Amino acid sequence: MASWDEVRRIALGLPETSEEPSYQGLPAWKVRGKAFVWERPLRRADLDALGTAAPDGPVLGAQVPDVGAKEALLADDPTVYFTTPHFDGYPAVLVRLDRISTEELTELVVEAWYARAPKRLAASYRAGQSPIGGSRPMVSKTRRPVS
């Protein structure tokens, strides 16, 4: 079960990421001004559309590379990933934060960052990763290392 503290730690560990208030002052994590993950409470229209399937826990919104990636996540684990009509045709998923593992959350946040980061910044970050797929610890503007 993941938490907002873990989202914050992972997101702020990525280069040029900031945490800024978004809709209703809730946190959003941005790379050079572009949101890649954000706290996304369900709105009345979402609740109406989801009915009894609406989660009652914390919801994270996450950018994905494209609609195909979104559909793959939704099909892969509908107990974790879901969407609402508001996001139809848009490359983003909603995540039941209390049902995603920290490992899967890390992968999702990093991939969301790659989807929004400028190409040169993303390439530079990729180049700094170890060849076996892990990443070296990065230090954000707030000096929080990613482990």
pLDDT tens digit string along 44-100? 999 999 999 999 999 999 999 999 999 999 999 999 999 999 999 999 999 999 999
For the chain, the domains span: 4-122
Using DSSP, how many helices (H) and how many strands (E) does the chain show? 5, 6
Look at domain 4-122 and name its CATH class.
alpha beta
> What does pTM read for this prediction?
0.85
Taking the C-alpha atoms of 67, 73, 74 and 79 in order, what is their torsion angle to the nearest 10 degrees?
Answer: -160
